[in-house]
Amino acid sequence: MTASALTFRAATLEDLSAIVALLANDPLGARRENNTSPLPAPYEAAFMAIDRDPNNELIVVDTPDRPVAGVLQLTFVPHITHEGGWRAQIEGVRVAEDQRSGGIGRQLFQWAIDRAKVRGCHLVQLTSDKKRTDAIRFYEGLGFVASHEGLKLHL
């Protein structure tokens, strides 16, 4: 799909159900998301927190045939390291199953990388569950390198 056919925009509250549906539509997301109607209140609370934070952007991509064909969250994080440099953290990436392999994910990432440059970031980083081998291969194809070992502590 050509970049001109895609629209990248800030998500609205009206997009929230479609975003959660995307996040829930895979084996890992199905276990941790609650894609019911109405959505549980914490989703709206999280959306509102993201929406009012100037260092967080929830971005959706629309195609001519499908609104919210993809989503990612971009968070800008200041660091003391790297001479007080800023990083962009990409999370919550999904492209609708019926829209994959058409270049939408690649263009969504290019949009996010360009946005990080505009914001003055020196680095774009992401994590991916080790079980998402296709996603990791995709990220590596975009030039991301597994240079660090990520660790998490669930609370």
Tens-digit pLDDT profile for residues 20-32: 999 999 888 999 9
Q: Specify if 31 maps to a domain.
A: no
Structure confidence at residue 123 as a pLDDT band (50, 70, 90): very high
Q: Specify if 40 maps to a domain.
A: no
Q: How many domains does the chain have?
A: 1
Q: Specify if 46 maps to a domain.
A: no
Asked if 79 contacts 85 with a C-beta cutoff of 8 angstroms, the reply is: yes
pLDDT for the residue numbered 101: 87
For range 54-60, the mean pLDDT: 98
CATH code, domain with 125: 3.40.630.30
pLDDT for the residue numbered 1: 57
Asked if 108 contacts 8 with a C-beta cutoff of 8 angstroms, the reply is: yes
Domain that holds residue 129: 3-12+55-141
Average pLDDT, the chain: 94
For range 69-88, the mean pLDDT: 95
Q: Specify if 45 maps to a domain.
A: no
User: How far is residue 3's CA from residue 111's CA, in Å, rounded to a whole number?
Assistant: 10
pTM of the model: 0.92
pLDDT for the residue numbered 116: 97
Give every CB contact of residue 93 below 8 A, 6+ residues apart in sequence.
70, 71, 72, 105, 108, 126, 135
Between 25 and 149, where is the model more confident?
25
Q: Specify if 87 maps to a domain.
A: yes
pLDDT for the residue numbered 152: 86
Q: Specify if 26 maps to a domain.
A: no
Structure confidence at residue 4 as a pLDDT band (50, 70, 90): low
Q: Specify if 124 maps to a domain.
A: yes
Q: Specify if 22 maps to a domain.
A: no
The share of the chain scoring above pLDDT 70, in percent, equals 97
For range 135-149, the mean pLDDT: 93
